[in-house]
Amino acid sequence: MRRWFRDVTLNVILTTVVGKRIPNSYEGVETVEWKKSVDEFFELAAKFVASDAFPFLRWLDIGGEEKRMKKVSKELDQLVEGWLREHKEKIAENEANNEEDFMGVMLSKLRDDVEEHDAKTVNKATSLSLVLATEDTTSITMSWALALLLNNHDALNKVQQELDSHVGKDKLIVTESDTKNLVYLESIIKETLRLYPPAPFSATHEAIEDCTVNGHTLVCLPV
């Protein structure tokens, strides 16, 4: 299920950000390259690199992790560069879709350079950050939510009843307008994030004192 959740998440975020979908087969060159680069990115992100703790050892590149990071960074940059080039070509040929994606909107809005960075770099960096930040965290959360529901039949029955009541059994797709009525499902997602945050804090954090706003005590969750 984790793989299926990941593919669904990737399709949604890629459609939103760059107007693309991964093919149903896993043999597409671009799909294989993307999955390989992203898998290596998250693997390296979780690794301990000696030079982070001891900067004077950076020139040694113990374990070759920094070399791998630069390689993955270049691969991801080339993929995003290709997406941006496709967008520019479509705009030049007046073939842009009526439903613009995020990268297309950024192209139309960022006509000039932004502070110390050129518009192209800002567009690529922002688009890639959105995809990377969403893909893994969302699929992990959905996997945990499903696992928790399968081990708690009462909660599973309640959320099924809520979906049947507010969405219906004949409707295959839950739309954004339906979500405001899915209060119990929203609570399940929030509780899942509380119990199993996809990107937990590396150290324990505790507020020095209670924070009260308009008579309500604010509680921060590690999500």
Phi, psi dihedrals of residue 120, rounded to the nearest 5°: -65, -45
Question: Does residue 56 belong to any structural domain of this protein?
Answer: yes
Residues 118 and 33 both lie in one domain:
yes
Q: In the predicted model, what is the mean pLDDT of the chain?
A: 82
Which residues form the domain of 162?
A: 152-223
Residues 110 and 162 both lie in one domain:
no
Residues 128 and 173 both lie in one domain:
no
Number of separate domains in the chain = 2
Q: Where does a domain end: 100, 133, 166?
A: 133
Of 5-9, 104-108, 155-159, give the range with the top mean pLDDT: 155-159
Q: pLDDT-derived band of residue 25, with 50, 70 and 90 as boundaries? A: very low
Summarised one tens digit per residue, pLDDT across range 26-36 is 555 666 777 78
Residues 162 and 212 both lie in one domain:
yes
What does the DSSP 8-state code read for residue 213? E
Name the residue with higher pLDDT: 76 or 216: 76
Question: Does residue 45 belong to any structural domain of this protein?
Answer: yes
Summarised one tens digit per residue, pLDDT across range 106-145 is 888 877 666 667 888 888 999 989 988 888 889 899 999 9
Q: Which of 148, 146, 145, 137 lies closest to 223, judged by CA?
A: 137
Name the residue with higher pLDDT: 10 or 185: 185
Among the listed ranges 21-25, 95-99, 174-178, which one has the minimum average pLDDT value? 95-99
- Whether the model clears a pTM of 0.75, i.e. scores above it, the answer is no
Question: Does residue 145 belong to any structural domain of this protein?
Answer: no
Residues 127 and 158 both lie in one domain:
no
Name the residue with higher pLDDT: 100 or 223: 100
- The shares of helix, strand and coil residues in the chain, as percent rounded to the nearest 5, are 65, 5, 30
